[in-house]
Amino acid sequence: MKADKNVINELFCKDIILIVVFTVLAICTMLLVLMQVLAITEGSIRNVIIIVALVSILFLFWAALEVIFHLRRQRTAVYTEELKNQELLHQHMGDK
């Protein structure tokens, strides 16, 4: 099966949307937890908590961007393999 470029682009767009939504929700969750923790802490530990939270958010954002760049660079290879595996799965499930 020759992978259709439109199908590959559709899968790519869906994956990017999922990554963006997951990243935004994860950052919102981290910020919500940070606000709750800051409300119950005092003193210099607050600065440490803020720094750790910001570094965590930065790494989460960086990792999401790296995944997006990887998918963009290797789009044809990744999604051609995915479509081939889906076809094999459908054939296997049809045999049962």
User: Quick one: pLDDT at residue 3?
Assistant: 63
Amino acid in position 90: H
Task: Specify the pLDDT at position 12.
Answer: 94
d(CA 63, CA 88): 31
- At residue 41, φ and ψ (nearest 5 deg) are -110, 160
User: Does residue 94 have a pLDDT over 80?
Assistant: no
pLDDT at 49 over 90: yes
pTM of the entire structure? 0.81
